[in-house]
Amino acid sequence: MRDYEPYYTEDGSIGLYSYAEKDVFHSKYGALTEAWEKFVIPSGIDNLNKNNIKVLDICYGIGYNTKALMSFIINKNRKKKQNFLIKILKKFYTCTTHIVSICANKLLKKTLRLSLHIDAIEDDNLSASIDCLELNEELVKLSPLFKTIKTPEEIYYNLVPKFLNCFDTYYSAKNLFVNIMSKFAPKNRKEINELLEIKFKNMHIDSEYKIHSYVNYILLNALYEKFGSGYWDNEFKKMVTKGKNRRFFDKPLIKYAQFNQNWGYNSSSKHDLSTFLHNIYYHHLSKRDKNIKFKTAMSLFKLNFFVDDARKSILKLNEQYDLIFLDAFTYTKAPQLWSTEFIAELYKRLAPSGVLLTYSNSVLVRNTLLENGFYVGKIYNEKNKKFIGTIASKDKTKIKHPLDNYELGLCATKAGIPYHDPNLSFDNKDILELREYEFRHSSLMSSSKYMKIRSLDNE
């Protein structure tokens, strides 16, 4: 954590800046919003004809992509149940109106059919098996502990229902409230604001983009399963409770983690139990109903963490994934995760109608995908009417916005020359030099010349 600087991004979620990479892990406009808009929503998860999906999250970091996906799944199952309840009420209504004409025998049969239907819907839950690949163990362990602050806008919507927003006064009242409340919102350090040119005043997030309250608890349980008592040591405890960045961590989650450590994995400290029971179970999971809901949500996920270079981890995996999230640092900083050879490994592991998503719009990345046999397209953001990433699939029908002729032509220029990493073992410097050599000796047209010719053609 010493090498990273946490900061609040515009949607109230925390982003990290890496001093070593001199790069941000997350968009300053919203770490969580980015996870939804570049990965979860464009993945088409809403229309998958499958109940159990297999997901590969490459460069898990502090887990926003996985967390957003898990939230989507929990909410989707909950909505399905709500819809189902409405259906039952409707059925009940129809039953009662016909009750006079239906004999007891028939009614019994109908009830029987209804209860069978309930079971069918319960079995119908969407669930996911998620393999998370990340090099940095510390980040993986910290991932569930980061908090997301409530934005002033969110607080306002909790107080005043949205349906009033047809009135002008609603907007002025909202703006006034947001302006006042933002004065009290936690602030970034001045230096990081200057370094990253963060200028925002009023934080904003769409409520449907929130992380579901169970997600971090589920992740914590999965991490305890992986690391056991090694999840937490004194130094880790100091970092999250006393270190200079402690304000970025969620206190109840830290208590829950401590509870797991002391009770679940170190039975010698059972004397702490009463305190932890009070703090955690009372506030979070104590009520029977909540506990059942939590357990049901937990059963929807199988989480595996592979803490190593993704090039090594990928070779250990033999799944066919429905979704692959590729969220590596930009290609000049992490060329090893954009090389032809690494992408070829992803091609092998993508299910026939699966999709691979990345935030990158670069010509090099798109051409590497094309050369590996993918159909390649752009991720379109309805909200700001912009293309914000790249989607690839073996199934042409999964690509809603294919690359146009101009973009395909650009991919065939020198700018599209891919990285090579034979045996998936080169270091960054060698991969960059190898491409540089190929670039200098290539007979392909330069991208600038291509753009000039195409603009002349259009005149």
Ligand X SMILES: C[S@@+](CC[C@H](N)C(=O)[O-])C[C@H]1O[C@@H](n2cnc3c(N)ncnc32)[C@H](O)[C@@H]1O
Binding positions for ligand X, rule: CB under 6 A: 25, 59-65, 133-136, 139, 309-310, 327-329, 334, 336-337
Sequence-ordered list of residues with C-beta below 8 angstroms from that of 169, at least 6 positions apart, any chain: none
- Return the number of the residue (336 or 390) whose C-beta is nearest ligand X: 336
For the chain, the 3-state helix, strand and coil shares in percent, each to the nearest 5, are 55, 15, 30
- Return the number of the residue (131 or 152) whose C-beta is nearest ligand X: 131
- Return the number of the residue (154 or 327) whose C-beta is nearest ligand X: 327
- Nearest distance from C-beta of residue 24 to ligand X, angstroms: 8
User: Degrees (nearest 5) of the Cα angle 254, 302, 299?
Assistant: 80
- Nearest distance from C-beta of residue 294 to ligand X, angstroms: 23
- Return the number of the residue (87 or 316) whose C-beta is nearest ligand X: 316
- Return the number of the residue (121 or 192) whose C-beta is nearest ligand X: 192
- Nearest distance from C-beta of residue 80 to ligand X, angstroms: 27
Please report, to the nearest 10 degrees, the dihedral formed by the alpha carbons of residues 232, 296, 151, 379 taken in order: 100
Distance, CA of 364 to CA of 432 (rounded, Å)? 13
- Return the number of the residue (74 or 424) whose C-beta is nearest ligand X: 424
Residue nearest to ligand X (CB): 61
3-class DSSP assignment, residue 21? coil
- Nearest distance from C-beta of residue 309 to ligand X, angstroms: 4
Across 299-325, b (16+ Cβ under 10 Å) vs e yields: ebbebbbbbeebbebbeebeeebbbbb
- Nearest distance from C-beta of residue 403 to ligand X, angstroms: 24
Cα separation values, 332 from 328, 336, 338, 339, Å? 11, 9, 9, 11
How distant is the alpha carbon of residue 78 from its chain centre? 19
- Nearest distance from C-beta of residue 86 to ligand X, angstroms: 35
- Return the number of the residue (310 or 369) whose C-beta is nearest ligand X: 310
- Nearest distance from C-beta of residue 233 to ligand X, angstroms: 20
Q: 205-209, long-range: CB within 8 Å, 24+ apart, which pairs?
A: 205/11, 205/12, 205/13, 205/30, 205/32, 205/33, 205/151, 205/153, 205/154, 206/33, 207/154, 207/157, 208/75, 209/11, 209/32, 209/33, 209/36, 209/68
- Return the number of the residue (281 or 329) whose C-beta is nearest ligand X: 329
Six-digit token string for 391: 């989607």
- Nearest distance from C-beta of residue 182 to ligand X, angstroms: 25
